[in-house]
Amino acid sequence: MVVVGIDLGGTQIKGGLVDEEKGIIKKMSNPTEVEKGNDRIVENIVKVIKALSNDTKIDAIGIGSPGSIDRDKGIIRFSPNFPNWRDFELTRLIKEKTKLDVFVENDANAFALGEWYFGKAKGLKDFIALTLGTGIGSGVVCNNTFLTGKDGLAPELGHIVVVPNGPICGCGNRGCVEATSSAKYIAKEAQNLLDRYPDSLVLKLAGSKEKIESKHVFQAYEKNDPLATIVANFSIDALARAIGAYVHAFNPEKIIIGGGLSRAGDALFIPLREMTKKYVMSSFVGTYTIEQSSLVEDAGILGAASAALYAEEKNF
Ligand SMILES: [Zn+2]
């Protein structure tokens, strides 16, 4: 099967022509132009699809987008990237213009499907995929089934509470793992602690307080910087606690982590693997691995394409 995968971002539409066997054949991107309104956004998506499919017969189109998505109806209920979209019938509009099957999936679920078709979860029956970025997104395959729940809202593994009365989360609760271990929290907490550690390497790496990002914290953490150590140990420990809970709930073979934070590499993964051991029952130790996603910058396109492949296979 050959499909087009569209990674729908707030500034860029990234698209790829994707072969089920060979992976990405061709890719391109186009500005989203959110400010020019819905018709223009749809037009820009269609432009990418047409340019990619040009002389190739394609089977379907998959779109990955952040936000709350009704995959069965092909509706975007709400997306942080598109403030004007409320119950926006994205797939119907694209279908009308392309006469092809169109599927839309939440970007975190799409990431998990991308790992299943093209990444480290290929051939696995039980795995968990996490995107660690500004927020924490998740997808779960358990016993060869892609879990979505009764209303299609699951899984939201980023909102497992790991620190009671901890930092406030975007969802309104306190102490969700998204609030303790996302890139956003790590950068903010490092900025907060700067008054106590004015000589921190984190500041030297970033250049100024405002420019501190999670990557600077991890670079300094590798050099045993005291501020970075406090922030990273807290965040990694909280994430380890969450992963321990996921391991107990789903007994996965792999936990695959992507997103911006995963690029910290060993600085994140080595302590994370160690700390997770503390939180799993002894019978689970050695049953799972925690791995860095290998899809990197193509994760969005491959995820979206996989949403189409999966939907076509399941005859949605
Ligand atoms: Zn939350």
Query: pLDDT per residue over 209-265, tens digit each?
Result: 999 999 999 999 999 999 999 999 999 999 999 999 999 999 999 999 999 999 999
CA of 101 to the centre of ligand 1 (A): 34
State whether 54 and 125 are in the same domain: no
Distance 215 CA to ligand 1 centre (A): 22
Q: Which domain holds residue 10?
A: 2-106
At 35-61, the pLDDT tens digits run 999 999 999 999 999 999 988 999 999
Asked whether residue 50 is assigned to any structural domain, the reply reads yes
Task: Give the CATH number for residue 169.
Answer: 3.30.420.40
Q: Give me Rg for the CA atoms of the chain.
A: 20
Which of 106, 132, 163 terminates a domain? The answer is: 106
- The answer on pLDDT for 153 being more than 90 is no
In the sheet with 289-292, reading across from the earlier edge strand, the strands are 145-146, 136-142, 127-132, 254-258, 289-292
Q: How much distance in Å is there from the Cα of 204 to the middle of ligand 1?
A: 32
Q: What's the confidence (pLDDT) of residue 137?
A: 94
Residue pLDDT, tens place only, 166-176:
999 989 999 99
State the chain's mean pLDDT as an integer: 96
54 and 180 both lie in a single domain: no
Quote helix, strand, coil % in the chain, to nearest 5.
Answer: 45, 25, 30
Domain end marker among 106, 132, 157: 106
Phi, psi of 200 (to 5 degrees): -60, 145
Task: Report the share of the chain in percent with pLDDT over 90.
Answer: 91
The answer to whether residue 300 is domain-embedded is no
The domain boundary, picked from 80, 106, 132, lies at: 106
Q: Does the pLDDT at position 130 exceed 80?
A: yes
Q: Is the residue at 111 inside a domain?
A: no
Instruction: Tell whether 78 and 224 lie within a shared domain.
Output: no
Q: How far is the CA of 12 from the centre of ligand 1 (A)?
A: 27
The residue that leads in pLDDT, 160 or 79, is: 160
Residue pLDDT, tens place only, 65-112: 988 899 999 999 988 889 889 999 999 999 999 999 999 999 999 999
Please tell me whether residues 98 and 126 are part of one structural domain: no
> Do residues 98 and 141 both lie within one domain?
no
Query: Could you tell me if 129 and 102 lie in one domain?
Result: no
Q: How far is the CA of 316 from the centre of ligand 1 (A)?
A: 31
Residue 282, pLDDT score: 96
Same domain, yes or no, for 135 and 82?
A: no
Based on the domain organization, do 101 and 191 belong to the same domain?
Answer: no
114 domain residue, yes or no: no
Q: For residue 247, tell me if it sits in a domain.
A: yes
Is the pLDDT reported for residue 316 higher than 80? no
Do both 88 and 53 map to the same domain? yes
**């420990």: which residue's tokens?**
237
Distance 170 CA to ligand 1 centre (A): 6
